[in-house]
Structures are given as structure tokens and as C-alpha cells.
């Protein structure tokens, strides 16, 4: 498994920005955006891979993983 698979990646529509916004909370600040949901996700995955390379290059420990926490069901209980 790639290290990037350990991090939840979120792509959502932003009414404010009128585009899709991709983020990876816990690993990177900011993210990416665009008009095509699939392309935003692909770009986000590349950004996450690059961020992990930088963490390792700088010999910094990776943040705690965010995947595998069943966020979908947790958020459903909140709504």
C-alpha cells in the first residue's frame, strides 16, 4: 500500500468558488480546484504523493493517517 492511501482525500463542490475543491486534511494545507471533479481528484492525489516525498526528504514524521476512520458513517450520524 502506498503511504498516500493512508490519507483521506476530499473533493467537494464549492458554491462560493463555483468549482470543485480538493483537500487532504491532516496532511496538507490548501489543495486544488477546478471544473472537473475527476481531474481535481487526480491532481489532489499527485499533490498528496508530492507532499509525502517532501516529508520524507526533510526527514519529518508523517502526520497520523486519516483514512480508515469511517468518516462517511460518522458524518451521517451528525446530519
| pTM, to two decimals | 0.83
Q: How far apart are CA 23 and CA 2, in angstroms?
A: 18
Number of domains in the chain: 1
pLDDT at residue number 40: 98
Listed as own residue / partner, the contacts of 32-41 with beta carbons closer than 8 Å and 24 or more positions apart are: 37/11, 37/13, 40/11, 41/9, 41/11
Per-residue pLDDT, averaged over 69-76, amounts to 60
pLDDT at residue number 79: 57
Per-residue pLDDT, averaged over 19-34, amounts to 95
pLDDT at residue number 70: 62
pLDDT at residue number 67: 86
33 lies in which domain range? 3-78
Q: How far is CA 33 from the centre of its chain?
A: 12
Amino acid at each position: 500500500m502506498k503511504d498516500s492511501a493512508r490519507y483521506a482525500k476530499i473533493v467537494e463542490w464549492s458554491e462560493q468558488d463555483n468549482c470543485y475543491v480538493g483537500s487532504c486534511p491532516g496532511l496538507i494545507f490548501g489543495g486544488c480546484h477546478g471544473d472537473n471533479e475527476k481531474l481535481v481528484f487526480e491532481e489532489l492525489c499527485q499533490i498528496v504523493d508530492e507532499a509525502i516525498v517532501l516529508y520524507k526528504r526533510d526527514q519529518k514524521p508523517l502526520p497520523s493517517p486519516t483514512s480508515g476512520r469511517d468518516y462517511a458513517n460518522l458524518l451521517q450520524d451528525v446530519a
